[in-house]
């Protein structure tokens, strides 16, 4: 979806003045790419009509940069299609234990997201409890226990012989006794929707009266996800959607359809199997991502999540003062290891995703060992001021670290690249901050 839309809009951007024909043509292409991305037909029709109407209006035709205006309109309308600002916020019970119910088809990613959500809540200072109500899928309870342990959150379970409704009730007692403030219920799924599952979910709902009923939908299933959402919503009156496996879905069609068809907000995106791969859903950021304008804010959030906050602030100060040295570089590389594949991150930065030189700046564990050895073979002075590392110093460092002059050169080059990238990054952060409204 992104590639197609981007090339269509790129063509428009280049034009000085736009005729009605230009816009018609562009809208046809936009329509095609949305349909190909498996966006619901009705949604596409409304979307394209809205864009067209505005594009033919005076705000575009009389502007000096009509192409750019159209891009902005497409962006605006994408945002509108995907939701409203602030609606992804979770609801909590201010006076009592809060309940979240996770539901969806088998394999949608409920158990995984249960762990991710717990991790997030814990980071926000809550005291969550996970409840194993999937008593059907073999090893489902064990899976939840593993997930709970990996994020340091307790799991309540009663084996697979007790009914899920009873388990939910008992979990409440446990929660009161242990000072739990948020209970997340991991429910069972089926391969297809069936009555008995829906009955069970309705009963759990009536028992715990959850603040949030979150439906997990696999983004890769496109239109099917929309149908699933409609049915679950009929039975349960869900409060929101978590779109999963967005990492594998380059098409982005589901996000565009669901909000419109079901009229319930998307609250989170699950973008991988690891516990930190859960992002709050922001319509404006998703629109920017689809249009290839990059999603700087999400990267910064991801970085903040992985980085020690104090260190991150230190690093920012250093960047501003321009004294980012080799020790910082090493620290940065070590932290980036926690952020997942660098390519993913770079892909989100406008103008950098395509930069081959930076793409080569891979952080793998083996490289990191060499990097560490090299930097540790430098004197304090050299680390603080890499400029003084001349030829003979390079030879000495190579020998000391058991590497080669070539490797030392390579590292110093990477350090330079990183410094440049980070400068670009903080400059971008500033401009993004200024035009917040636009996303």
Which residues of this protein are in contact with ligand GDP, per CB under 6 A? 104, 106-112, 189, 216, 244-245, 247-248, 270-273
* Shorter beta-carbon distance to ligand GDP: residue 248 or 402: 248
Residue 131 is assigned to a ligand binding site = no
* Shorter beta-carbon distance to Mg ion: residue 55 or 197: 197
Q: Which does 128 bind (CB under 5 to 8 A by kind): Mg ion, ligand GDP, none?
A: none
Q: Which does 108 bind (CB under 5 to 8 A by kind): Mg ion, ligand GDP, none?
A: ligand GDP
Q: Could you say whether residue 270 binds Mg ion (CB under 5 A)? A: no
Tokens of 398: 């190579």
Residue 267 is assigned to a ligand binding site = no
In the complex, what is the shortest distance from the CB of residue 427 to ligand GDP, in angstroms, rounded to a whole number? 32
* Shorter beta-carbon distance to ligand GDP: residue 218 or 328: 218
In the complex, what is the shortest distance from the CB of residue 141 to ligand GDP, in angstroms, rounded to a whole number? 11
* Shorter beta-carbon distance to ligand GDP: residue 111 or 414: 111
* Shorter beta-carbon distance to ligand GDP: residue 77 or 295: 295
In the complex, what is the shortest distance from the CB of residue 278 to Mg ion, in angstroms, rounded to a whole number? 16
In the complex, what is the shortest distance from the CB of residue 206 to ligand GDP, in angstroms, rounded to a whole number? 22
Pick the binder of Mg ion from 111, 239, 371, 403 (CB under 5 A): 111
Residue 394 is assigned to a ligand binding site = no
Q: Which does 162 bind (CB under 5 to 8 A by kind): Mg ion, ligand GDP, none?
A: none
Tokens of 101: 């119910």
- In angstroms, the CA 171 to CA 158 distance is 9
- In angstroms, the CA 381 to CA 365 distance is 26
What is the binding site for Mg ion (CB under 5 A)? 110-111
Binding-site members are 104-111, 186-190, 244-247
């Amino acid at each position: 979806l992104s590639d197609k839309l981007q090339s269509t809009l790129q063509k428009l951007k280049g034009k000085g003045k736009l005729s009605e024909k230009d816009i018609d043509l562009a809208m046809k292409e936009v329509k095609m790419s949305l349909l190909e991305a498996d966006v619901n037909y009705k949604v596409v029709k409304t979307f394209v009509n809205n864009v067209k109407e505005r594009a033919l209006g005076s705000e575009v035709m009389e502007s000096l940069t009509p192409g750019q205006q159209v891009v902005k309109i497409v962006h605006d309308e994408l945002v509108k299609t995907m939701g409203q600002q602030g609606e992804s916020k979770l609801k909590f019970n201010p006076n009592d234990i809060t309940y979240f119910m996770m539901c969806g088809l088998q394999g949608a990613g409920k158990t995984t997201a249960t762990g991710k959500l717990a991790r997030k809540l814990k980071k926000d200072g809550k005291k969550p409890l996970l409840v194993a109500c999937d008593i059907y899928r073999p090893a489902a309870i064990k899976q939840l226990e593993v997930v709970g342990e990996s994020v340091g959150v307790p799991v309540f379970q009663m084996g697979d012989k007790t009914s899920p409704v009873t388990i939910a009730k008992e979990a409440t007692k446990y929660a009161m006794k242990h000072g739990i403030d948020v209970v997340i219920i991991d429910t069972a799924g089926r391969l297809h929707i069936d009555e008995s599952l829906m009955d069970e979910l309705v009963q759990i709902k009536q028992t715990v009266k959850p603040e949030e009923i979150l439906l997990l939908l696999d983004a890769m299933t496109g239109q099917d996800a929309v149908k699933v959402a409609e049915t679950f919503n009929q039975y349960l009156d869900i409060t929101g959607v978590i779109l999963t496996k967005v990492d594998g879905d380059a098409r982005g069609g589901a996000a565009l359809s669901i909000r419109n068809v079901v009229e319930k907000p998307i609250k989170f995106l699950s973008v991988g199997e690891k516990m930190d791969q859960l992002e709050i859903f922001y319509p404006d950021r998703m629109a920017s991502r689809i249009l290839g304008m990059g999603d700087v804010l999400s990267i910064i959030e991801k970085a903040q999540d992985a980085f020690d906050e104090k260190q991150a602030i230190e690093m920012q100060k250093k960047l501003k003062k321009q004294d980012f040295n080799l020790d910082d570089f090493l620290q940065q590389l070590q932290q980036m290891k926690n952020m997942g594949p660098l390519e993913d991150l770079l892909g989100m930065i406008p103008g950098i995703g395509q930069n081959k030189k930076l793409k080569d700046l891979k952080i793998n564990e083996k490289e990191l060992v060499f990097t560490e050895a090299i930097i540790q073979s430098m004197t304090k002075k050299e680390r603080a001021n890499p400029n003084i590392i001349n030829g003979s110093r390079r030879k000495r460092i190579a020998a000391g670290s058991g590497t080669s002059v070539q490797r030392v050169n390579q590292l110093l080059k990477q350090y330079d690249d990183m410094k440049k990238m980070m400068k670009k990054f903080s400059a971008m952060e500033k401009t993004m901050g200024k035009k917040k409204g636009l996303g």
